[in-house]
C-alpha cells in the first residue's frame, strides 16, 4: 500500500493514508514523498473528502473507515484496481506471476530495462536493493508488475493480477500455497488460468518448463507461449534432449554450463531455439535464480532489448531486500534475512547459500508465520527442505490462535524430525533465548540465515547487537548520524539521504562509530567515506569496514575498486593490494563521480584494486 501511495503521488495525485502504525523504512519513504499518514484508523481521517478510498485486502466491510467512506458516498476501490485503471492503462503491461520467484524476476526485468534506457514503470512486493523502494513511475512503454494470485479486497475475491491487463506474462511455477483462501490445488490452478486466458492473441506467455502444473495452465493461453528451463545441473539433465546437438524439445529458452565463481557469482550460457544466445553472470546464486534470469532475459529479448544491454542488466542487478539479504556481520558471523516460508523456497534458498558460502557452517533459524506455513499442510515437506542446513533452530509459531488446533503446524515436531533424520535441530520458543544461543555457539565464518515472512521480533539486529561491533548496511534514517560522524573527523564526503544504499555502518554501544561507502558503477566501484570516530581509533574498525566494502564489491561482481587518499597509503596497499594509478586510466563513470570531481579531490592520490 505504501508503494501504491508512492506511485499515485508521483503521478500527481494528492494522497493521504491511514494505518494502525507505520514504521521505517516505509514511514521515511512516505514522509519524503509528502504523503501524510494518519494514525490510528478513524472516521475523521476522511474529513478531507478524497475522491477515492483504496482499501487493503486485510480490511473487511466492518472497518471504521470503510463504513465512513460508504456513509459519505466516497467510492471504494482496491490497490490492484487503481493500478490497472489509473497507472497501467495505456502501457505495455508485463506481469510476473507464479508461486515462487515473482519479486526477484519482476525486479530483475525492470532493472534490465532501466539499464537499457527504456525507463519502465515498476510495482513489486519487495524492495530492489539498488532502487531502495518497490515502485517506479517511468515514462517508457513498459509497466513491469508482480502479479499476486491472492485475493484483491473484501468486495473483490478475484486475484490481484486480474486487474493488471497483461500483454506479456511470466509464469514461474504453480504449487499449492495460500491455503487460507484456496480450498484445493485445483482452485490454485484455476486462478492462474485466469491470467493466461486474459493475454491477447498477439501477447506472450513465458512459462517455466520445469513446473508441470505451470505447463498445464499455459495450455489455456491463446497467446504465443515460450518455455524456459535450467538444464545440466548437479543432478544431470532435467529433460529428454534431441540427439542432434543436444537441444531440448519444445523449450525455446534454457540455461546450461552453470559455474559458481570464487566471489559466489554464477555464470551460465543461455540458448534460444537451440542456438547459443550469450553467456551471462549474475549475483543471484542458486538454480532457481538462474531460471528467474532466463525468464527475464526471454522477455527483455521479446521487447527488443539488445543482448549487451541484457547482459549488463543481469550482471549488475544487486538483488532484492529480504532475499538472501545481508543484515550485517559481527564477530565474523554473517547474518542474512530471507522471506522464504514455503518448503520449496526454503530448500532452494538453502541450496543456493551452500554455493554462495561453500565450506562454511550454515545455520537456519525459522519462524512459521505465513498463513500457509502455520498450517500442517507441509509439515513433512519442511523436514526435507531444512535438511540442507548444518543446524536448524525452529522458533514458535506466530499467533497460533488464528489457526484451528487440528490444522496447526507443529514446530517442535519439525525440530524432532530433523534431529532424527540427522540434522542438528532444536525448538526454542523465546526469541531472546535464540539470540543468546546463537551468540554463544556461532563462530567466525558461520552463516546464520533467518527465514520468516515477518519481522521475527527483530532477531537479526538483536543477534548482531549481542555479538557486538556489528557492521550493517545503512538505512535512510541513519544518514544524519553518518553526516555527524564525517563532520567529527573533518571528512568532506557526500552523504545524502538518497545515498544510504551505498553506506555500511559499524555500531556498538556508543552508536554509529564507523562508516564506509561503496558506490557501484557496473564493473567499477568507488570506495569512499571510510571513517571511524575519534574515540574509537586504534580498535581495528577501519580495517573491518574496508574489508566489508571489498567483500561486498566482490559479491556485487565489481572488477575494479577505486579510491582517493592523501598519500599512497600503506594501509590500502599492504592490507588489500591497492596500487597507485594515473587518473587518465579511469573509466568515464568513475572520473565523473562525485568523489573524483570534488574540488578537494584534485590533489589526492588515486588508487585501484583489481578483483
pLDDT of 117 over the 90 cut: yes
Provide the strand spans (E) within 148-286: 151-153, 156-159, 168-171, 204-208, 224-230, 253-260, 266-272, 275-282
Q: How confident is the model at residue 45 (pLDDT cuts 50, 70, 90)?
A: very high
Residue 264: pLDDT over 70? no
Rounded distance between C-alpha atoms, residue 514 and residue 231, angstroms: 45
Can you give the pLDDT at residue 285?
A: 76
The model's pLDDT over 364-389, given as tens digits with 9 standing for 90+, comes to: 999 988 877 888 888 888 899 999 99
- Could you give the CA distance from residue 609 to residue 572 in angstroms, rounded to a whole number? 9
Give percent of the chain with pLDDT exceeding 70.
95
pLDDT of residue 340: 80
pLDDT in tens, 152-183: 888 888 888 889 999 999 999 887 665 566 67
Q: Give the CA distances from residue 386 to residues 99, 351, 419, 571, 610, in Å, rounded to whole numbers and listed in that order.
A: 19, 10, 11, 42, 38
Contact of 562 with 606, CB cutoff 8 Å: yes
Whether the pLDDT of residue 150 is over 80: the answer is: no
Predicted local distance difference test score (pLDDT) of residue 568: 59
In this prediction, residues 208-222 reach a mean pLDDT of: 89
What's the pLDDT score for residue 437? 93
Question: Can you read off the three cell numbers belonging to residue 485?
Answer: 560522524
Mean predicted confidence (pLDDT) in 60-69: 94
Confidence at 343, pLDDT banded by 50, 70, 90: confident
CA distance 176 to 330: 38
Is pLDDT of 244 > 50?
Answer: no
- Distance, in Å, from the CA atom of 387 to the CA atom of 346, rounded to the nearest integer, reads 10
Kindly report, residue by residue over 270-300, the tens digit of the pLDDT: 999 989 999 998 888 778 889 999 999 999 9
What is the per-residue pLDDT across 422-460, written as a single tens digit (0 to 9) for each?
999 999 999 999 999 999 999 999 999 999 988 888 899
3-state secondary structure of 539: coil
Euclidean distance between CA atoms 581 and 590, whole angstroms: 13
CB count, 10 Å around CB of 556? 22
> Omega before 133 cis (within 30°)?
no
Q: How confident is the model at residue 138 (pLDDT cuts 50, 70, 90)?
A: very high
- Measured in residues, the chain has a length of 611
Round to whole Å and give the CA distance between 22 and 38: 9
Q: How confident is the model at residue 136 (pLDDT cuts 50, 70, 90)?
A: very high
Residue 463 C-alpha cell reads as 543477534
Average pLDDT over residues 57-69: 93
C-alpha distance across the termini of the chain, in Å: 41
Residue 516: other Cβ atoms inside 10 A: 27
Q: What is the pLDDT of residue 263?
A: 64
Whether 218 contacts 210, CB under 8 Å: no
Interatomic CA distance for residues 303 and 118, integer angstroms: 10
A 10 A CB-CB count for 585 gives 12
pLDDT at position 247: 58
Please give the Cα distance from 485 to 423 (Å, whole number): 45
- Which range scores top for mean pLDDT: 22-36, 397-411, 469-483, 553-567? 469-483
188: its cell numbers:
490454485
C-alpha cell at 183: 480450498
Measured from the Cβ of residue 253, the count of other Cβ atoms closer than 10 Å reads: 22
**Residue 242 pLDDT more than 50?**
no
Report the distance separating Cα 296 and Cα 559, nearest Å: 24
316-325 average pLDDT score: 79
Q: How many CB atoms sit inside 10 A of residue 381's CB?
A: 14
Q: Give all domains of the chain, ordered by start, each with its CATH number.
A: 1-79 (3.40.50.720), 90-316 (3.40.1190.10), 325-468 (3.90.190.20), 504-610 (3.40.630.30)
pLDDT at 417 over 80: yes
pLDDT at 239: 46
pLDDT at position 602 over 80: no
- H-assigned helices in 161-286: 185-198, 212-218
Predicted TM-score of the model (pTM): 0.77
3-state secondary structure of 197: helix
Amino acid at each position: 500500500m505504501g508503494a501504491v501511495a508512492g506511485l499515485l503521488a508521483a503521478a500527481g495525485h494528492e494522497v493521504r493514508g491511514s494505518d494502525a502504525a507505520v514504521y521505517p523504512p516505509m514511514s521515511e519513504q512516505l514522509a519524503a514523498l509528502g504523503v501524510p499518514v494518519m494514525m490510528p484508523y478513524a472516521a475523521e481521517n476522511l474529513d478531507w473528502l478524497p475522491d477515492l478510498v483504496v482499501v487493503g485486502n486485510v480490511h473487511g466491510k466492518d472497518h471504521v473507515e470503510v463504513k465512513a467512506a460508504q456513509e459519505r458516498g466516497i467510492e471504494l476501490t482496491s490497490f490492484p484496481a487503481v493500478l490497472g485503471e489509473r497507472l497501467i492503462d495505456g502501457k505495455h503491461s508485463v506481469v510476473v506471476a507464479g508461486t515462487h520467484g515473482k519479486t526477484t524476476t519482476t525486479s530483475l526485468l525492470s532493472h534490465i530495462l532501466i539499464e537499457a534506457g527504456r525507463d519502465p514503470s515498476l510495482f513489486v512486493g519487495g524492495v530492489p536493493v539498488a532502487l531502495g523502494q518497490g515502485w517506479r513511475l517511468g515514462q517508457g512503454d513498459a509497466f513491469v508488475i508482480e502479479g499476486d494470485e491472492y485475493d484483491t479486497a473484501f468486495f473483490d475475491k478475484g486475484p490481484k493480477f486480474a486487474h493488471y491487463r497483461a500483454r506479456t506474462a511470466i509464469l514461474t511455477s504453480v504449487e499449492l500455497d495460500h491455503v487460507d483462501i484456496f480450498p484445493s490445488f485445483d482452485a490454485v490452478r484455476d486462478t492462474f488460468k485466469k491470467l493466461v486466458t486474459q493475454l491477447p492473441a498477439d501477447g506472450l506467455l513465458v512459462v517455466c518448463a520445469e513446473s508441470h502444473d505451470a505447463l498445464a495452465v499455459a495450455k489455456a493461453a491463446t497467446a504465443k507461449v515460450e518455455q524456459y528451463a535450467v538444464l545440466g545441473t548437479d543432478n544431470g539433465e532435467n529433460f529428454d534432449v534431441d540427439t542432434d546437438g543436444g537441444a531440448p524439445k519444445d523449450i525455446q529458452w534454457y540455461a546450461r554450463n552453470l559455474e559458481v565463481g570464487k566471489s559466489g557469482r554464477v555464470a551460465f550460457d543461455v540458448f534460444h531455439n537451440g542456438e547459443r544466445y550469450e553467456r551471462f553472470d549474475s549475483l543471484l546464486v542458486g538454480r532457481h535464480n538462474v531460471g528467474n534470469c532466463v525468464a527475464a532475459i526471454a522477455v527483455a529479448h521479446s521487447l527488443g532489448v539488445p543482448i549487451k544491454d541484457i547482459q549488463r542488466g543481469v550482471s549488475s542487478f544487486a538483488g532484492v531486500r529480504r532475499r538472501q539479504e545481508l543484515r550485517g556481520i559481527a564477530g565474523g558471523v554473517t547474518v542474512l534475512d530471507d522471506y522464504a516460508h514455503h518448503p520449496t523456497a526454503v530448500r532452494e534458498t538453502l541450496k543456493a547459500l551452500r554455493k554462495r558460502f561453500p565450506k562454511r557452517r550454515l545455520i537456519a533459524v525459522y519462524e512459521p508465520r505465513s498463513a500457509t506455513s502455520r498450517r500442517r499442510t507441509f509439515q513433512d515437506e519442511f523436514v526435507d527442505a531444512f535438511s540442507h542446513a548444518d543446524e536448524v533452530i525452529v522458533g514458535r509459531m506466530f499467533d497460533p490462535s488464528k489457526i484451528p488446533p487440528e490444522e496447526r503446524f507443529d514446530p517442535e515436531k519439525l525440530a524432532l524430525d530433523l534431529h532424527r533424520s540427522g540434522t542438528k535441530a532444536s525448538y526454542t520458543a523465546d526469541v531472546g533465548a535464540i539470540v543468546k544461543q546463537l551468540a554463544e555457539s556461532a563462530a567466525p565464518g558461520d552463516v546464520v540465515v533467518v527465514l520468516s515472512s515477518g519481522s521475527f521480533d527483530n532477531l537479526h539486529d538483536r543477534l548482531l547487537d549481542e555479538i557486538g561491533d556489528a557492521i550493517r548496511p545503512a538505512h535512510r534514517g541513519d544518514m544524519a548520524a553518518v553526516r555527524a560522524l564525517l563532520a567529527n573527523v573533518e571528512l568532506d564526503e557526500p552523504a545524502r539521504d538518497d545515498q544510504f544504499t551505498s553506506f555500511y555502518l559499524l555500531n556498538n554501544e556508543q552508536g554509529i562509530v564507523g562508516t564506509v561507502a561503496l558506490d557501484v558503477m557496473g564493473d567499477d566501484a568507488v570506495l569512499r567515506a571510510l571513517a571511524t570516530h575519534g574515540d574509537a581509533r586504534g580498535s581495528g574498525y577501519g580495517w573491518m569496514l574496508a574489508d566489508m566494502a571489498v567483500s561486498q564489491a566482490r559479491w556485487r561482481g565489481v572488477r575494479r575498486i577505486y579510491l582517493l587518499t592523501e598519500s599512497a597509503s600503506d594501509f590500502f596497499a599492504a592490507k588489500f593490494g591497492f596500487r597507485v594509478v594515473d587518473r587518465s586510466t579511469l573509466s568515464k563513470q568513475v572520473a565523473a563521480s562525485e568523489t573524483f570531481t570534488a574540488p578537494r579531490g584534485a590533489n589526492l592520490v588515486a588508487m585501484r584494486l583489481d578483483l
